Structure 1
Amino acid sequence: MNVALTQTGRAAGRAPGPGAVLTALAAAQFTVMLATSIVNVALPQIRAGAGLSDGGTTWVVNAYGLAFGALLLAGGRVADLLGRRRVLVAGLALFALASVAAGLATSAGVLITARAVQGVGAAAIAPAALALVMDRFPPGPGRGRALGVWGAVSGAGAAGGVLLGGALTQAWGWPWIFHSVALGAAAVLVAVAALVPRDAAAESGGEDGRRGARQRGRFDLLGTVTVTLALTCLVWGLTGARGAGWTDARVLGSLGLAAVLLAAFCVIERRRPDALIPPRLFSTGRVAAGNLLMALLGSVWIALFFFLPLYQQQVLGAGPLVTGLGQLPLAMAHMIGSALAPRIARVIGATATVTAALLTEAAGLLWLSWMRADGSYLVDVFGPSVLIGLGLSIAFVQLTALAVDGVPRQDAGLAGGLVNTTRQVGGAIGLAALATLAGSVTAHAPTDQPPLEALTTGYQAAFTASAAVLATTALLAPLLTRRTGAPAPTASTPRPASDPGTSPFSPARPNR
């Protein structure tokens, strides 16, 4: 009786509104992005405090990214099968506990392990939260605005992590980087539990709930293990290439094993009725295009937040706090661009919006490539940061929409995991390649060139290459999106989550 009265009361109007639900889910995404970048500025202090070697310091960053990138597909599929809200809550709890352990760590092994467990939690949070956003906001202007908020918090989390990391390190020491993340994750956990409704079928409990989960398919354990190992080897090899070089035997062995495992995964998936990545996920043609373009965007995204703080600290001589404050213009531009992205797309069309955004970001990176060793923040960083923030945010929002467009509802978590995976793997590839390029250019600088000028020359090469990648991506975008299309649903085909006729990547309609 009490349960029935409670449910009746919620139905009568006391249930949280869409804005409150979106706030809780966006906060979960913010927390994941924050943990990705918050340690970058504090690495020297972390190294001294935890007694890390050069390799150990690198793995404070890599352990998180490796676990996160390798497990996103598995996290998305588990969310589809067991319930997205349930997986989101579990991921947040694991994330918070791992963050506490990282803040209390006094040895390199404990700290790196805690960062890896953080990545496991993040791999559950990100796809589950994005799938819940898709559930609560059907295709149309509402979903466009929701994805705009999603893009805003993603960029704000990445840039805000640099700011918060610098401020906390300077004020209270590096452990508070992780304690603050733990407190934030705990607060988000409470908000999600209070505001986000339970999944109707998979989390209803009892025999009906279990039957509902079974109707959506079984968990592809063999495929999941194979692709997770493949992604682990791939990210491991790319990460190692940054320090050991591309000809190192361990790097080549890891990349070769990744290729073999990915080939095995493709063979396995063809023969399994409940494949981890079912063919229906690509039935509209938009998912493949969105993920390819997102991988190219990610290849310069992560590198940007790696090189820019290094230039500010190592060349311009800024401290951790000043370096973090220097990210504010980029973060503000990112938030503005994310809010404007759906409106721009309604006026000129999503494809034109993506192309223009990529070219805008490429222009900002090209401008950044003109940085000088004797430069200043206002002259060399501020203007490019604004352009990059606007272009990056608008492209991210539109490509996320493209990568989940037309996906059947039962695969929403997997689609969210896939687009996050391609961004992470693209970022790992891009960072490894660009770090190698920058290091090579610096190492081969003339012997009579001052060290700071040689270092700056390496950064210039990395930003020039990044601009070229985005310009190429902008050229590909119209071609890939123009060729996408979706067959009309039939009686035997589940209707996709968004109607192809109302796709945001349909031609722009004139305003009436």
Structure 2
Amino acid sequence: MTCQLMLVLDATIVNIALPKIRDSLHFSEASQSWVLNAYTLAFGGLLLLGGRAGDILGRRRMFVSGVLVFTVASFIGGLAVDSNMLLASRALQGVGAAMAGPSMLALIITTFPEGAPRVKAMSLFTAVSSAGGSVGLLLGGMLTTWGSWRLVMYINVPIGAAAAFAAYKLLNESPKAQGRFDVPGAVTSVLGMSSLVYGFINASEHGWSDSVTRGAFVAAVVLLTAFVVTESRVEFPVFPLRLLKDSTRARGYGSYVLLVGAMFSMFYFMPQFMQRVLGYSPIKSGLAFLPLTATLFAISRFVPKLLPRFGPRPLIAVGTALISGALLWLAQISPDSGFTGSLLVPFLMFGLGGGIAFSPIALNIMAGLAPRDSGAGSGLMQACQQIGAALGIAVLVTVSTSAEKGGHDPNPAVNFTHGLGTGLTVGSAIAFVVFLISLTLRPKAPAGGAGAAPTPIPVTE
């Protein structure tokens, strides 16, 4: 769980520090999002290969190796002297995270049997995963205010070194599976997703008619098509297409992508609004997320008791409705908005919704997986999280930047807030789509006891 928190918060810990990083290393308004996307794309794109590598080479070996790569990359990032060096270190962090992440989750799945132990373990995992974003904002604010933006990179060095040493000493190696690596599948997925996100980011800077933008989208279509064709033909695919034959699991993966993308719109936009418009310091911006984080962790403790009684459908529906409503509420803010009057209540709604929704979605994805698919299934779930974050930020930054450029108010803060509100409105709509997906699940009869495990819910076709 400590390692998972480190990997997840690294996707947002730099958000608070972005204004400082932008000024120090001379990023443009749109290209600064690559500080986040370089990490999330490498992480998400390579997770499938990382899961397969853990099955073949041993999960403890991949876990320790990944944490060490992540730790070294963090140290290099702290030393960055220009934007290219920082982006390269962020991508290398993503590689290390992709090596460690799937083995970690696969160990949880294989260690805790379905039933009360699995429900409790996965509830804790999803709580750390979903709250890690806001924890990163809080920690990033503290480090940036008290020291330098470089500390958001250096903080991983002692934690990562300790985690790697403890894992080597305390974890047992898993049995190694037979098979080969699907390198073509991993390469085409990474390049395809990178092209797609680059197309959105380039569009925000140079427009949708730009030749580079169009070329990026064409490349994305070709590469992702090649990825699907490759996975349908190879003997040992990095992404077994059979995992999507279960409609409940397939919709769970889709919901994970969409919901993470919607949630990261808030984690990306609100710290900038607080610092650029409201004049908050980095640490004050981070502390503003404390009610959200506390609420999310608190409600996550009750999910293991609620799931057996109500089943996943109502929890996912209520949680996503709260997230959608919170984002729509935040979209109405203005430069004159205050924290207590305009931000506190939607922050609490957001934390409540995240704590309720994520664990049922994750359990629907992982329930019923065969042991041979635990690495691929867990890797794909984490890939959905990272790709959702990358695509969500890319799409919503494009929407926000276009709306901001269309503003005609002489006050730049008004135009920026208008663009932010437009981006959050789109994020709210994305979360609402997940709410609609949850309504297609058939209601589950209440389980007999608090310790019962949720089973996959058949979907009405």
State how far apart, in whole Å, the 1-side matches of 2:333 and 2:83 are: 36
User: Mean Cα displacement is larger for which, 310-319 or 88-97?
Assistant: 310-319
Contact 2:299 2:355 in 1 (8 A): yes
Residue 421 of structure 1 aligns to a residue whose secondary structure is helix
Partner of 2:63: 88
- Once the 2 structures are TM-superposed, how far is the Cα of residue 267 of structure 1 from its aligned partner? 2.1
Which residue number in structure 2 is paired with residue 184 of structure 1? 159
What is the rounded CA distance, in whole Å, between the counterparts of 2:281 and 2:21 in structure 1?
A: 15
> Offset of 1:63 from its aligned partner?
1.9
Contact 1:333 1:389 in 2 (8 A): yes
Greater CA deviation, 109-118 or 425-434?
425-434
For residue 411 of structure 2, the aligned residue among 433, 436, 450 is 450
Would you say how many aligned residue pairs link Structure 1 and Structure 2?
451
Pick closer, same or farther for the CA change 1:454–1:53 going to 2, 3 Å. Answer: closer
For the residues of structure 2 that align with 1:448 and 1:105, how far apart are their CA atoms? 37
Structure 1 165/38 Cα, relative in aligned 2: closer, same or farther at 3 Å? same
Aligned to 2:350: 388
- Give, in whole Å, the separation in 2 of the partners of 1:428 and 1:246: 19
The aligned runs of 1:409-448 (5 Å cut-off) are 409-445=371-407, 447-448=408-409
Q: Which residue of 2 aligns with 1:328?
A: 290
1:504 is aligned, of 439, 455, 461, to: 455
Cα displacement (A) at 1:155: 2.9
Distance 2:226 2:246 in 1: 25
For the residue of structure 1 that corresponds to 2:173, the secondary structure is coil
Deviation at 1:74, TM superposition (A): 1.3
Structure 2 residue 437 is the aligned partner of structure 1 residue 476: yes
Alpha carbons of structure 1 residues 235 and 405: separation in structure 2 relative to 1, 3 Å:
farther
8 A Cα contact 1:286 1:405, kept in partner = no
Secondary structure of the 2:301 match is helix
Aligned to 1:42, what secondary structure does the other structure show?
helix
Q: Does 1:60 align with 2:35?
A: yes
Q: Which of residues 90, 113, 116 is equivalent to 2:88?
A: 113
RMSD over equivalenced CA pairs, Å: 2.3
Q: How far is 1:95 from its partner?
A: 0.3
Greater shift in the superposed pair: 318-327 or 145-154: 145-154
Cα deviation 1:108-139 (Å, max 9, x = unaligned): 33222111111111112222211111111111
Cross-structure match for 1:498:
none
- Does structure 2 conserve the Cα–Cα contact (< 8 Å) formed by 1:299 and 1:426? yes
Question: How high is the sequence identity, in percent, across the aligned residues?
Answer: 35
The structural deviation recorded for 1:58 is 4.0
Q: Spell out structure 1 runs of 4+ moving beyond 6 A.
A: none
2 CA distance for matches of 1:283 and 1:274? 17
Instruction: Sort the Cα spacing of 1:454 and 1:107 in 2 relative to 1 into closer, same or farther, 3 A.
Output: closer
The question of 1:125 aligning with 2:100 is answered yes
Gaps of 5+ in 1: 1-25, 203-212, 485-500, 508-512
In structure 1, the partner of 2:236 is: 274
- Residue of structure 2 aligned with 1:102, choices 46, 53, 77: 77
**Distance across 2 between alignment mates of 1:173 and 1:397:** 35
Q: Which of these two proteins has the greater Rg computed from alpha carbons?
A: 1
Does the CA-based 8 Å contact 2:400-2:423 persist in structure 1?
yes
In 2, Cα distance between the equivalents of 1:298 and 1:244?
27
Distance 1:177-1:341 versus aligned 2 partners, 3 A rule: same
Looking at structure 2, the residues matched to 311 and 392 of structure 1 have their Cα atoms a distance apart, in angstroms, of 22
Other-structure match for 1:362: 324
Distance in 2 separating the partners of 1:173 and 1:426? 29
Q: Which residue of 2 is the match for residue 459 of structure 1?
A: 420
Alignment of 1:17-166 (within 5 A): 26-50=1-25, 57-166=32-141
Task: Describe the superposition over 1:328-355 as per-residue Cα deviations: whole angstroms up to 9, x where unpaired.
Answer: 1111111122222222212211111111
**CA shift for structure 1 position 503:** 4.2
**1:431-461 CA deviation, whole Å, 9 max, x = no partner?**
222222222323223x356332232222222
Shift of 1:50: 4.1
Taking structure 1 as reference, are residues 40 and 81 closer, same or farther at Cα in structure 2, changes over 3 Å only? same
Contact 1:41-1:320 at 8 Å conserved across structures? yes
How many angstroms does 1:36 deviate by?
A: 0.9
- AA aligned opposite 2:288: G
Q: Measure the CA separation in 2 of the matches of 1:441 and 1:54.
A: 14
Equivalent residue in structure 1 for 2:247, among 278, 285, 291:
285
- State the shift of 1:48 in Å: 4.0
One-letter amino acid of the structure 2 residue matched with residue 465 of structure 1: V
1:398 maps to 2:360: yes
Shift of 1:314: 1.5
Q: Greater CA deviation, 389-398 or 350-359?
A: 389-398
Question: How far apart, in 2, do the equivalents of 1:51 and 1:259 lie?
Answer: 32
Is there any run of 5+ residues in structure 2 with no aligned partner, and where? 445-451
Larger mean CA deviation between 69-78 and 239-248 belongs to 239-248
Partner of residue 447, structure 2: none
| TM-score between the two structures when normalised by the length of structure 1 | 0.83
Whole-angstrom CA distance in 1 between matches of 2:354 and 2:321 = 10
Q: 1:146 corresponds to which letter in structure 2?
A: A
**Contact 1:62-1:239 within 8 A present in 2 as well:** no
Contact 1:239–1:428 (Cα < 8 Å) also in 2: no
Secondary structure in 1 aligned to 2:439? Answer: helix
Deviation, structure 1 residue 51? 5.5
CA distance in 2, matches of 1:405, 1:243: 43
Does structure 2 retain, via aligned residues, the 8 Å contact 1:66–1:232? Answer: yes
8 Å contact kept, 1:69–1:231: no
- Tell me, yes or no, if the aligned pair for 2:41 and 2:387 is still in contact at 8 Å: no
- Cα 1:247–1:76, aligned 2, differ >3 Å: closer, same or farther? farther
Superposition deviation, residue 246 in structure 1? 3.1
* 251 and 337 in structure 1: CA distance in 2 versus 1, 3 angstrom threshold: farther
CA contact (8 A) 1:76 1:124 kept: yes
Matched, 1:196 2:196: no
- Please tell me the residue identity of whatever aligns with 2:412: P
Of the three residues 301, 305, 313, the one matched with 2:263 is 301
1:255-270 to 2 correspondence within 5 Å? 255-270=217-232
Q: Which amino acid aligns with 1:341?
A: V
Select which of 206, 210, 216 maps to 1:254. 216
- TM-score under structure 2 normalisation? 0.91
* Inter-partner Cα distance in structure 1 for 2:379 and 2:203: 25
**Closer, same or farther in 2 for the Cα pair 1:128/1:162, shift >3 Å?**
same
In structure 2, give the amino acid aligned to 1:70: G
For residues 66-120 of structure 1, the C-alpha deviation after alignment (integer angstroms, 9 at most, x for no partner) is 2112212111221222222211111000000111111122233322211111111
